[in-house]
């Protein structure tokens, strides 16, 4: 005969209230002016980069990262360098131990944790109205909300937070403080790179060369330039060369060989291939169209 003995479940944390779940697509130059409230809030960056201000410090968050804001702490946010971004936010009340781990830490989500966020987003999208509207923060059920959707969202959120506590994959937010000096330096670096490419557009330009000239590593060069401009160094250089070629085709009588050489493409075949990929027309077609305008 089996003897059964019940065991109470230890709950290391429990979501007691769900205040808001939303997916925000922040446009260029977006600024959220800020607020303070008596519940927790987490912010996960799905695309782009944003700056979150907490207690007068500005923290840079990149795609795939998350930060928590504890109750009654004023916080505001804006898109980094004016570029658009997409953000998931969840506001909730929670009871539990070790919640101080979530304070002033930026969490680097692993693949399983990112899947958990995606599952929350999918369930909330089906469960609530106005899921993508920044103006709506009340959780109103959709007409065809799935059975138990809200409970699944809460369960997923608890799973995510426990997973974060287990993994410890976080960095001190102090390491991501954005200063005015840092932002100015990043802008200046990107401007120097663009100016150099414009002045040497007919020459062969490499990442190693640009990094050496600016006394930085290639990885720092690529990361900083991408943050400032929204694209890679080489993509930007190609765009500059295409624009220069378009001007030459419209205003001068250079041969295609001369234009390919003056814009740094090297061969006519490569120049024509890249030009058509970017404009949808061959150099000759573009030239005829512009001169007939």
pLDDT tens digits, residue range 256-293?
Answer: 999 999 999 988 999 999 999 988 989 888 888 766 65
**Residue 12: CA count within 13 A, CB half-sphere:** 11
Question: Minimal CA–CA distance to 142: which of 157, 125, 154, 155?
Answer: 125
Domains along the chain?
Answer: 13-176 (2.60.120.10), 180-291 (1.10.10.60)
- Please tell me the pTM assigned to this model: 0.61
For residues 213-241, one letter each, b for 16 or more C-beta atoms within 10 angstroms of the residue's C-beta and e for the rest, the string is ebeeeeeebbebbbbbbeeebeebbbebb
The residues near 159 (Cβ < 8 Å, ≥ 6 apart) are 116
- DSSP symbol at 9: P
Residue 129: band (very low, low, confident or very high) from pLDDT cuts 50, 70, 90: confident
Cα separation, 149 vs 145, whole angstroms: 7
* pLDDT given at position 84: 85
**pLDDT for residue 174 is more than 60:** no
Residue whose C-alpha is closest to residue 208's, from 194, 219, 197: 219
Least confident of 142-156, 158-172, 242-256: 158-172
Mean pLDDT of 69-81: 88
DSSP string, 174-217: GGGBPPHHHHHHHHHHHHHHHHHHHHTTTS---HHHHHHHTTS-
Q: Are 35 and 74 in contact (CB under 8 A)?
A: yes
Question: pLDDT value at position 238?
Answer: 93
- Identify the DSSP state of 168: -
Q: Are 19 and 140 in contact (CB under 8 A)?
A: no
Neighbours of 204 (CB within 10 A): 8
Q: Residue 93's pLDDT is what?
A: 95
């Amino acid at each position: 005969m089996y003897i059964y003995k019940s065991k109470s479940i230890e709950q290391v944390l429990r979501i007691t209230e769900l205040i808001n779940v939303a997916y925000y697509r922040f446009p260029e130059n977006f600024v959220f002016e800020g607020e303070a409230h008596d519940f927790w809030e987490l912010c996960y960056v799905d695309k782009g980069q944003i700056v979150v201000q907490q207690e007068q410090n500005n923290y840079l968050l990149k795609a795939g990262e998350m930060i928590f804001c504890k109750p009654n702490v004023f916080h505001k946010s804006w898109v980094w360098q004016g570029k658009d971004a997409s953000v998931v936010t969840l506001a909730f009340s929670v009871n539990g131990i070790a919640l101080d781990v979530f304070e002033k830490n930026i969490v680097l989500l692993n693949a399983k944790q990112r899947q958990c966020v995606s599952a929350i987003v999918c369930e909330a999208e089906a469960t609530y109205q106005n899921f993508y509207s920044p103006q709506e923060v009340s959780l109103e059920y959709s007409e065809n909300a799935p059975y138990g959707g809200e409970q699944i969202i809460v369960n997923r959120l608890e799973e995510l937070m426990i997973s974060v506590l287990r993994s410890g994959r976080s960095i001190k937010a102090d390491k991501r403080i954005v200063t005015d000096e840092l932002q100015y330096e990043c802008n200046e670096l990107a401007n120097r790179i663009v100016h150099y490419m414009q002045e040497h557009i007919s020459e062969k330009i490499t990442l190693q060369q640009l990094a050496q000239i600016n006394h930085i590593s290639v990885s720092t060069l690529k990361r900083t330039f991408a943050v400032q401009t929204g694209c890679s160094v080489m993509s930007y250089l190609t765009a500059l060369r295409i624009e220069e070629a378009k001007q030459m085709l419209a205003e001068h009588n250079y041969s295609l060989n001369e234009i390919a050489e003056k814009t740094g493409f090297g061969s006519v075949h490569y120049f024509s291939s890249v030009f058509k990929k970017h404009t949808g027309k061959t150099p000759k077609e573009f030239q005829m169209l512009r001169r007939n305008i």
